[in-house]
Structure 1
Amino acid sequence: MRHYCLREFERLPHGSGEGQIPENDAESLAAVARSSAFAGAGEVGVLEHHRAFLRARNVVGMIVAPRASLEILPKIDLPPGEAGDTATEAGALRRRLVHMLAVALDLRIETGTVTALSWQRETLLEILIRIFCVKLSAQLRRGMPRRYISQEDDLPALRGRIDVARQFTRHAANPSRLACRFDALSEDIALNRIIRATINHLAGISFSSANQQRLRELGFAYADVTEVPVSALRWDLVVLDRTNRGWAELVALAKLFLRGRYQNTSAGRADGTSLLFEMDALFEAYVARLVRRALTGTDLVPDVQGGGLCCLIEADTNRGLFRTRPDILIRRGGSVVQVVDTKWKRIAARIDDRKQGVSQADVYQMMAYAQLYHAPKVTLLYPHHHGLPGKEGVQATHRFTGGDQALELTSLDISRGEIILARIKEMLLGHAVDV
């Protein structure tokens, strides 16, 4: 298995030398990428397959083909202490990406269980598989979830209640057998079937001997659970309550692993798997979760993907058109005090570009939010990078023509994840917060 690694929007040229990819590997990876939900109508949402190179886009994660795998990492500027050789930088980027996934999916992932060497040597997929195995082992030590399920059986003694119709049809001439219907405590439930399917799936795509061993050991614990195809899993029957709340994270990880599985590509039938994340959506979910945490205990209330006001009202029917869904509305009482919209793109320094690379469409969108929601401040939030002068935070403030409402261009340093919650709080409350 040959492994390749890229950052967002980087190119991997065709060839057989170091830092190149043979054309047959490029074609097989591109075929897998074309089957992704992120591929889009042009089938280039994940990878652009050109005559002389592959080019990544703003979708990160893993693409695994029969003979090759490609890891796409986010384009995040690292602090000087973590920037260096390729392996060190890749390890730091994997750690940042796992941190973002953990926050966005509300997972408690103890990245300290993964050594610095593992971050550098193992792919994102193998690291996530290891985290899944560690979490599953810990939960199994507390016991596998069980629930009462209805069963039917013909028994020599009564258990539960008699199934009268079956008793007088099947056993009318043999009263020594009783047609019983009863509830039995069982491990063969939807949640455990999902976990078993996840173990089986990961065993088929992991190339780490250590992870393969972990998965084999975990598989033994599920020997009595029915094996169900991924397409037939009953996610709707999973019940998470106070008795099995600790399994919520494992269900979330199972969805992460199983939702990207497929068998068909646009080039014909091919085996492959992908674990991909659209950075625009991930950044939005990451910031939204941080905002919720940061505002806990304050008089500000975040409303994620709320609003719903329309830009236009039909004069004759009074129906709304062009409904809006701001990423985050910050409310105090019944009023909106700030609208935050996230953008996973790089803004330029003002000295280089007065508009800082902000698109006209984004400005129009924020102007509409300011007017519709009567917000005194609207914020475009971007990832911070080394090309911006000074520290993260407000990079520029503008006033909309004809009013007092302000548009802020703000950056957030993703590389400093250990204190990011305090910095989000400072950004929203407008004063320094002790770290």
Structure 2
Amino acid sequence: MPAFEHTLQLKEFERVSVGPQWDSRTRTVGAGEVAAIERFQAKSGRELIKLGYRSIQGTNWVGTLGVGQRCLEVIPKIDDPAGPLDARRTRENLLWMVSRAGMVPIEPADIARLADPQRPLLAAFLDLYVDHLAREWQRGPIKAYISEEENRTYLRGKLLFPQQQRHNLIQKQRFFTTADEFTMDNPLSRLLKAGLRCCAGQRLSDTVARKARGLLMEFAEVADWEFSSQEADQLQVSRQHSRYELLVNLARLILRSTSPETGGDGRQVYSLMFDMNEVFEKFVAAEMKTALAGTKFAVVSQVAGQSLLTQNGKPRFNLRPDIGVYRGGELVCLVDTKWKRLDMNKSHAGVSQADIYQMYAYGKEYGSALTVLLYPRWGSLPESIAGYVHNYSALADHQKGIEIRTLDVGSLLSLPAHRMEFAASLFRLIPDVAPRSR
């Protein structure tokens, strides 16, 4: 359990009580915080937390949901259910997965620092941003040429005749011109400052806010600017300023995560949450592309082109497997990821009939000899859960049509030995392929 007194940590789908006041010791969320989260979710259109009258429940969204000075920390179920919770390892694996999935701009060297369970994940990201920005800004701020139009008392740059006629018809001693200024006040600097202002204004960590306010003095020449998500995403980082690219991407993430939604009671809501279904899918795709790089195989994410049915000659109910593995343009296998805890004591280990039907449709319509349902592995789950043979004649000669497999996400994924075994397990998904020697 984290030592941060205003943090309440729960696993995916775990319930905690709702009471009049927030109390981390009794694992109680205040009614005021629940009301603020309800407003936030209604506006965002995402159910990050299931809200009830007497309790709330985590979902498959994990990360930090902050409400003023307090926050809910939802962590994924990637530990052994029979063993004790290892909060640091769980955080490290989550961060490794979202980083490899391309969902957060962090370096592997920063993961151990961000995994500290003593503070909210969002606060750790903000702290990382402030420290890295201070270091890079000290090396040299971003300066760029910006075209500025101004009615000057001297002739500089290019004279703008329409504006000159409109503004200076009487004041002949003035010149309306445009000139390039080499300045610190440019769009990239404004974006970095906007991220810094978010860090200074948040209430999750007084230490981070204090450091951010101190660093803001170094940005006195940079204008305050309110960025929409579209404006922030459109900014390009030139090769000249490439050392700031990671910070620019972090600033975008912070602006999306910490833009406060303030309710009538003044509580601000901040969100750094990840859908584990999306994380697992993108993580597996990225790892497969890395593992198979330099081989005769190619990995394609979000395979498209087939549908379940047609209507008046038009495709209906498109089929989009998560991952396709090809060899020389020929489809070798399809992989679909499912973020769900299997249980060998349940019928078919808990694999749903709907998922099997889905994989059957993928194999039939794409003509794939093998389709793989891939689940996360923890505890004593085996790597191979089950294999099934298709009945229809098109694939009758193949030994298996659908396989149920698992990938180990409980071991520390950042360790080299575990990375090698993880890559080898990805090779074993593909028929008649041996892992490369490393």
TM-score bin, normalised by smaller chain: 0.7 to 0.9
By how many angstroms is 1:37 displaced?
A: 7.3
- Cα 1:126–1:111 shift into 2, 3 Å: farther
What is the CA–CA distance in structure 1 between the aligned matches of 2:156 and 2:124, rounded to whole Å? 48
| Contact in 1 for aligned 2:379/2:410 (Cα 8 Å) | no
Task: Measure the CA separation in 1 of the matches of 2:385 and 2:242.
Answer: 42
Matched, 1:282 2:286: no
The C-alpha deviation readout for 1:205-238, integer Å capped at 9, x for no partner, is: 2443442343223322322222123448722540
Shift of 1:7: 0.9
Identity of aligned residues (%): 28
TM-score normalised over the length of structure 2: 0.84
1:68 and 2:63 equivalent?
no
Match of residue 328 from structure 1: 323
CA 413–34 in structure 1, closer or farther in 2 if over 3 Å, else same: farther
Match of 2:36 among 31, 44, 55: 31
Which amino acid is the alignment partner of residue 242 of structure 2? R
| Runs (5+) with no aligned partner, structure 2 | 429-433
Match in the other structure for 1:226: 223
Which residue of the partner structure matches residue 357 of structure 2?
Answer: 364
Q: Is the 8 A contact 2:68 2:204 kept in 1?
A: no
Tell me which residue corresponds to 2:256.
Answer: 259
Instruction: From the superposition, tell whether residues 379 and 27 of structure 1 become closer, same or farther in structure 2 (CA, over 3 Å).
Output: farther
Deviations 1:281-314 (A, max 9, x none): 1211222222222222222111112323222222
Q: Which of 373, 391, 396 matches 1:401? A: 391
Cα–Cα, structure 1 residues 146 and 326, in superposed 2: closer, same or farther, change >3 Å?
A: farther
Contact 2:386 2:404 in 1 (8 A): yes
Deviation of 1:144 after TM superposition, in Å, equals 3.0
The answer to whether the 8 Å contact 2:343/2:350 transfers is yes
Q: What CA deviation, in whole Å up to 9, does each residue of 1:81-116 have, x standing for no partner? A: xx65x6xx2222222222222222263424568569
Partner of 2:14: 10
Q: Distance between the aligned counterparts of 2:44 and 2:209, measured in 1?
A: 30
CA deviation string 1:404-434 (max 9, x = no partner) = 3521212111233024543453234332445
1:184 aligns with 2:181: yes
Read off the aligned partner of 1:128 and give its amino acid letter: F
Write out per-residue CA displacement over residues 12-36 of structure 1, whole angstroms, 9 at most, x where no aligned residue.
234688752446x145135315523
User: Structure 1 residues 107-116 or 138-147, which shifts more?
Assistant: 107-116
1:309 & 1:248 partners in 2: Cα distance? 38
Instruction: Judge conservation of contact 2:385–2:406 (CA < 8 Å) in 1.
Output: yes
Q: Does 1:165 align with 2:158?
A: no
User: Which deviates further from its counterpart, 239-248 or 9-18?
Assistant: 9-18
**CA distance change for structure 1 residues 33 and 101 in 2, over 3 Å: closer, same or farther?**
farther
Judging changes above 3 Å, is the alpha-carbon distance between structure 1 residues 14 and 99 closer, same or farther for their aligned structure 2 residues? same
Tell me how many residue pairs correspond in the alignment.
417
One-letter code aligned to 1:211 = V
1:309–1:233 distance in 2 versus 1, CA, 3 Å:
closer
Q: Which residue of 2 aligns with 1:97?
A: 94
CA–CA distance in 2 between the matches of 1:112 and 1:66? 26
Q: Give the SS at the match of 2:248.
A: helix
CA distance in 2, matches of 1:198, 1:346: 37
Of 285-294 and 376-385, deviating more is 285-294
Greater shift in the superposed pair: 254-263 or 371-380 = 254-263
Residue 422 (structure 1) aligned to one of 408, 420, 428: 420
Alpha-carbon shift at residue 51 of structure 1 (Å): 3.9
Which residue in the other structure is 2:26 paired with?
Answer: 20
Superposed CA deviations along residues 56-78 of structure 1, whole A, max 9, x for unmatched, are 12111112223532111111115
TM-score relative to the length of structure 1: 0.84
- Counterpart residue identity of residue 369, structure 1: Y
Q: CA deviation at 1:245?
A: 3.0
Kindly provide the CA deviation profile for residues 99-134 of structure 1, in whole angstroms up to 9, marking residues without a partner as x. Answer: 222222263424568569x71312212222222223
Over aligned residue pairs, what C-alpha RMSD do you find?
A: 3.1
